[in-house]
Structures are given as structure tokens and as C-alpha cells.
Amino acid sequence: MPHDMMADPAARHPLASRKSAGLTGRIAVPGDKSISHRSLMLGATAIGETVITGLLEAQDIIHSAQAMAAFGAHVERHRDGTWHVTGIGTGGYQDPVGPVDFGNSGTGVRLAAGLIATTPVAVTLTGDQSLQKRPMGRIIAPLEQMGARFEATGDGRLPMKVTGAGDAVPISYRLPVASAQVKSAVLLAGLNAPGITEVIEPVATRDHTERMLEAFGASLRVSERDGARRIAIEGHKELTATDIQVPGDPSSAAFAIVAALITDGSDVTVRDVMLNPTRTGLIDTLLEMGADIEIANRRVSGGEEIGDITARTSALKGVTVPAERAASMIDEYPVLSVAAAFASGRTRMEGLNELRVKESDRLAAIAAGLAANGVDHKTGPDWLEVTGGANTIGGGEVVTHMDHRIAMSFLVMGLAAHEPVAVDDASMIATSFPDFAGLMRGLGADIAEQDSWR
């Protein structure tokens, strides 16, 4: 397992960005994080060898790869960059030696908890300082109904001992809050429960788990009834290994797209980006704001639609982003807030409850970053209003709270602000986008060590 790919999380790395000339070029962003996690986990559960091309080789994903190996799957990276996973079958997980560390990955630990909840193994799941602050109660509740036992720290946090059910119980579970991670954890637990396990979601969330389960041969049924989406999975059916091509991550593409929209003289194309409709809320919103965005070369790969997205400098205007769109763009609100800072008028974003329990309290971190850079804004328990315009000042240092999306978003702000924008630590960017700074510099972005211009 390639431990050397993982940067030292203890090494602080301040960065800053400043007003740049036009950004131009064609780039490919790292593979989609959601697809990368799921391809490793379902490959580890399937019978046979799964070959994964384009896997995101970032810290979060490496932790998932190491976790699957700890549970007994054979996981190997070949010299050609492909990853080969030989699975151990549904219910075949083994007790790992020692705790399993997921670093900063909330997706990794929550999905893995679902996988092992209905298998008779005992393991302690843990993570870094940031992940240990994030709540796990929303997955504990349904998985305990299925027979798993959890011993969590404090009010449901890591480290957390999980004892999987020897006699799992299928359930019908209605999500109290829209969450693709909770839905996925229950569906993955349903793989090794007898009968039908059903998840009911009043608001549709990302459907990557459903699509990939079907690609691996799971018996899955999706229906609509009484205004809710229902996903039912039949347990005790073996999955069959399949090859996966991981598309570009739209959450990573968002940074280059917004940077192009707000930086004068820009014309940037991001190739091979996933266009799953549960992930395109940001593009829909930017188009409403007047963004010059084109999508070309649409095609389907591995059950997911992909395409090439071109963004050019645009005169953006403020809009209201409804709460029902939040599920399709929850990770993109930090960079949307940056776009809003350069848009004329007021942009209001609603339904942001989920941002309170991300890598940081993202809503508070966004508001603090805007304040540090002189951007007029207001915030509430689950909403944010940004009043933008061409007078975005910059000049502040943003506290990232170990949140990669906060770091990248405010570095994007600095590319168009009057004064440079600094982030106190960019080391955690490696969890999702290891070459972010280098790739942006290749487009013409002026990003450097924080002290290099002083």
C-alpha cells in the first residue's frame, strides 16, 4: 500500500494567492472522490478482481484502500496507475489487526461502518483530530437497528468500536435529514442482511452508491411513492467484480470553473467531469447567475454521464439558491460563496444545515473567511447571504480549520481580489486534490508561499 503518497498531516503549509492575469488552458482534475471510495469498497466486497482506472490518489482514498486491505481484501496499485482489488465476498470481512484509521475522511468511515455493521467483526474506527470532532450518530441509529453495536466517544464521535451483527436484521429506514452517506451506509449494511433493506429519502441525494451497486450486480429497486424516493436492496446476494473508470470530480472542477468566471480574460476547459444530475447543482446555479459555461462531448462511462466543461470570464449577478438544491451541491457552497462575492447584488443560500457538520463548521468558516476579506455578508442557522460586487477587497488571512474546501475556495478568491488572500494552512488540500496549486499555476494562477511577496 503506497504510504508515501500521504503528506504529513502535521506539517502546516500556509499559502496565498493574488490577482492574476487571465487563466487559460485545458485540464483534467483528479478522479471523483465519491466514486473512488465506493469502487474500492465494492471491489473489496465483490467476488473476483476489480480494476480501477483514474482512482483519486489522495489521502482520503488511500485511507479507504488501506482499510479494505485491513479487512482482508487484496488491494494493489500497478505501475500503470491502475488499482486492482480482489474481493472477499459479501460478509467475508475479517477482524483487522488494531484500529482502522480513516484520516480526515468522513465518507470513508461512514461507508465502512455500513459495510461491517452486518458482518460479525469487531473493530475500532478512528481518524485525525478533525474527523474525531465530526458526529457519527446519524449512522449509528439505523445500523444499531440492524443489529450492530457501537461504543462511541462522547456524544457519538470517533474513536468508535463497532461490533458487527452476527444475525443482521433488515430495516426500512426513513432519512430524517438528507444525507447520501447515511443512505449509503444503510444500503451497504443491507448487502449482508436477509431479505429487503429499504431506505426512504424525502429529498433525493447523490445516487452514486445505487449506480455502482447495480454495476456490481446487486439486486436493487428504486421507486417513487408518496413524494419520496425509495431504494430497496436484496441481501445475501454476491457482487461480481467489474472494471471502473473514475470520472473527474465535479467538486474539484468547481475551483477552476469559478476561478475562470471571476478572473478577467479567462477561458478554461475541464475535461471528463462527472455530470450526474445529483452533482450539478453548482453548474445550474452559476448558469442562473449569468455564467458563460458550455458543456461539450457528453458521454456515458461506468453508468455515469461525463463531459467537458468550459468556463469564461462572466459578469455574475446574485440569485437565491433554494434549500432543495443543497443536496446536489453541498460541497460546493464554499466556492459558490466566493463567486457570490464577485457577483452584483445579493446571493442568498438556504438549507445549509449540513455545512455545520462537515470537516469544519463550514458555514461559520465561510462567514469568517468572507469577513476577513471585507465581503459584506449575513448568516443564520442554515442560511448565508453574500452581497458582492467588483469591490471585493481581499487582504485577509483565512483560518481553514483543517478543511480542504475552505482552503481552496479562498485561494480562488485571491485570484480576482484587490489584495492577496492567504490561508493559514493548505496541507489538508492533499486529502482531495493533491496537485491543486500546481494545476492552477499551470493555468496562470498566482499562488505562492504566504511570505513570498512580503
Active site residues: 331
Q: Determine contact, residues 379/390, Cβ cutoff 8 Å.
A: no
Nearest to 30 by CA among 5, 11, 50: 5
Q: Determine contact, residues 168/144, Cβ cutoff 8 Å.
A: no
Q: Determine contact, residues 370/363, Cβ cutoff 8 Å.
A: no
Q: Determine contact, residues 318/342, Cβ cutoff 8 Å.
A: no
Chain centroid to CA 50: 22
Cβ within 8 Å of residue 141, ≥6 positions away: none
Q: Are strands 100-101 and 122-126 parallel, antiparallel or unpaired?
A: parallel
In degrees to the nearest 10, what's the CA dihedral of 61, 64, 68, 74? Answer: 20
Q: Cell numbers at residue 299, please?
A: 458521454
Give the strand order in the sheet containing 83-86.
Answer: 74-77, 83-86, 49-53, 244-245
SS3 for 116-127, per residue? HHCCCCEEEEEC
Supply angle C-alpha 4, 31, 203, rounded to 5. Answer: 125
Nearest to 262 by CA among 336, 374, 347, 339: 339
Please give the Cα distance from 396 to 207 (Å, whole number): 38
